[in-house]
Amino acid sequence: MLPAGLDAATFYGVFRLGVVGFAGCGGNGTLSGMDSVRFGRALGIGTRLAAKTAKAAMDAAAAPNPSAKPTETAGAGATSTADSRAGLGERVTRTAAQVQQTGQGLKEGSKRFGAAVGKPLVKLSGVLWLELTGVFFGLFAMAAGGAAWRLRAAMHETAANHEEHVRFLAGALMAAVFGYFCLSSFVKANRRSRES
């Protein structure tokens, strides 16, 4: 059986061109001894015939079934047009309902996605922010504590070391305040991470 739109002479010519064209391969399975023009011609003709066959098959698949019984009589042309318009209206209504349902499903899905991903992400970012600020407060507390430690000899104020005593007190106070901020940030982060 030949493909649609292809007569026997053309098919035989393509087949013969292919057989004669490939005869010069040399028997070793390579195309190195073959004329490239003949190979290209055979390949091009084969491709065009395959495209025609595929187009004919698609046209045949899209065509209505010829053996199906007609639903309307030939004399009822006006009613068939009205019926097809009513069917078209029903299809449009059904399609509009499907579009609306898809839109509502998309909206519900985005809400669920936000609840499933957004809420944990906000919680995690808040915990991370508290821990990061706690680290910075801890660094400032360590710097101030180091300065107070270097000035620990001026812990008792005398007339000679008044300025160093003030610096010691400022460093100790700064270390205490930033230490409190550091600890409170980590405590808040711990509490927030345990919340469900």
pLDDT digits (tens, 9 = 90+) for 16-65: 555 554 555 555 555 556 677 777 888 888 888 888 888 888 777 777 77
Tell me: do 57 and 122 sit in the same domain: no
Return the percentage of the chain with pLDDT > 90, whole number.
Answer: 22
- Is residue 108 assigned to a domain? no
Tell me: do 189 and 124 sit in the same domain: yes
Is 159's pLDDT higher than 70?
yes
- Predicted pLDDT of residue 68: 65
Contact 178, 136 (CB under 8 A): no
- Is residue 40 assigned to a domain? yes
Tell me: do 121 and 192 sit in the same domain: yes
Return the percentage of the chain with pLDDT > 70, whole number.
Answer: 71
| pLDDT band at residue 132 under the 50/70/90 scheme | very high
Is 106's pLDDT higher than 60?
yes
Tell me: do 55 and 127 sit in the same domain: no
Show Cβ contacts of residue 43 under 8 Å, excluding neighbours closer than 6 positions. Answer: none
Instruction: Dig out the tokens for 158 from the structure.
Output: 């005398």
Q: By residue range, what is the domain housing residue 135?
A: 117-196
- Is residue 95 assigned to a domain? no
Looking at per-residue pLDDT, the higher value among 89 and 123 belongs to: 123
- Is residue 70 assigned to a domain? no
Q: How many domains does the chain have?
A: 2
- Is residue 165 assigned to a domain? yes
- Is residue 153 assigned to a domain? yes
- Over the stretch 73-101, which tens digit does the pLDDT of each residue have? 444 455 555 556 667 777 888 888 888 88
- Predicted pLDDT of residue 47: 87
Tell me: do 126 and 195 sit in the same domain: yes
Tell me: do 121 and 195 sit in the same domain: yes
Of 42, 62, 82, the residue at which a domain comes to its end is 62
Instruction: Dig out the tokens for 91 from the structure.
Output: 């299809």
- Predicted pLDDT of residue 131: 94
- Predicted pLDDT of residue 81: 59
Of 44, 62, 80, the residue at which a domain comes to its end is 62
Of 19, 44, 62, the residue at which a domain comes to its end is 62
Question: DSSP readout, the chain?
Answer: -PPTT--HHHHHHHHHHHHHHHGGG-SSS-STTS-HHHHHHHHHHHHHHHHHHHHHHHHHHHSPPTTSPPSS-TT-HHHHHHHHHHHHHHHHHHHHHHHHHHHHHHHHHHHHHIIIIIHHHHHHHHHHHHHHHHHHHHHHHHHHHHHHHHTGGGSS--SSSHHHHHHHHHHHHHHHHHHHHHHHHHHHHHHHHH--
- Is residue 142 assigned to a domain? yes
Give the position of tokens 């053996």. 67
Looking at per-residue pLDDT, the higher value among 184 and 29 belongs to: 184
- Predicted pLDDT of residue 66: 67
- Is residue 90 assigned to a domain? no
